[in-house]
Amino acid sequence: MKSAERLRDAERTRADLLEIATEIFSEQGYSGARVDEIAERTRTTKRMIYYYFGGKEGLYLAVLEAAYRRIRETEQSIHADDLAPVEAVRRIAELTFDHHHGHPAFIRLVSVENIHHGQHLGKVESLRDLGTPAASLLDVVLARGRASGELRADVDAIDVHMLISSYCVFQVANSATFGYLFGRDMLAPDVRERHRRILGDIVVGWLTAH
């Protein structure tokens, strides 16, 4: 067991850098982030970024990987087997909604990565088939719904996931411009609650339309 007050602790230094870097990359973008600023806000120095991550890009890749790993864990914890298909999709939508609102830094990182055409994503081996859990979860529910005739049969899991992702990502990633142009603070609790319910209505309304 290690002491909590060691002056040198590789794991702690690594974690410290990763945490601050996540915040700064998500707030300023890849090019906008400054290695000096990241280092300044940790208890260690810039030297360690190069020691542990090889450089700015290596640090960014590590941030990306850690962020995506957390997402995957959350997704895998969702269980909707015990609900009727209609309620299951609503529940999946709402949980996704909550998760996005609860992890804005991750959502912003995705935006950053897209600005750069996803050129870094492919470099992280462990993120190869990250989409699978979310898709297969929906796949099961949709199959049940199709079988019972409650859900429409002309859409697949990715279609549904894309709708849910679109709506949730937009809430967080575009809150600044949309909120400004339409005078609606998307992060306010009551507005958020309304949108959460609306997303459920949208998904259910669509999938049950005939």
Partner DNA sequence: TCGCTAATGTACGAAACGGTACATACAATG
Partner DNA sequence: CATTGTATGTACCGTTTCGTACATTAGCGA
Sole window of 8-16, 89-97, 98-106, 116-124 interacting with a copy of itself (rule: CB under 8 A): 116-124
Q: Does 28 bind DNA (CB under 7 A)?
A: no
Q: What distances in angstroms separate CA 126 from CA 4, 11, 66, 90, one per listed residue?
A: 30, 20, 10, 30
Dihedral over alpha carbons 35, 172, 168, 90 (to 10 degrees): 120
Distance CA 204, CA 192 (A): 19
- Outline where 77-210 has alpha helix (H): 85-102, 104-115, 132-148, 157-173, 175-182, 189-207
Query: What, of a copy of itself, DNA, none, does residue 204 touch, CB below 5 to 8 Å by kind?
Result: a copy of itself
Closer to a copy of itself by Cβ: residue 51 or 178: 178
Residues 133-172 that bind a copy of itself (CB under 8 A): 135, 155, 158-159, 161-163, 165-167, 169-171
Contact (CB, 8 A) for 160 and 93: no
Q: Does 111 bind a copy of itself (CB under 8 A)?
A: yes
Q: Does 36 bind a copy of itself (CB under 8 A)?
A: no
Residues that bind a copy of itself (CB under 8 A): 28-32, 108, 110-118, 121-122, 127, 129-131, 135, 155, 158-159, 161-163, 165-167, 169-171, 173-184, 195, 198, 201-202, 204-209
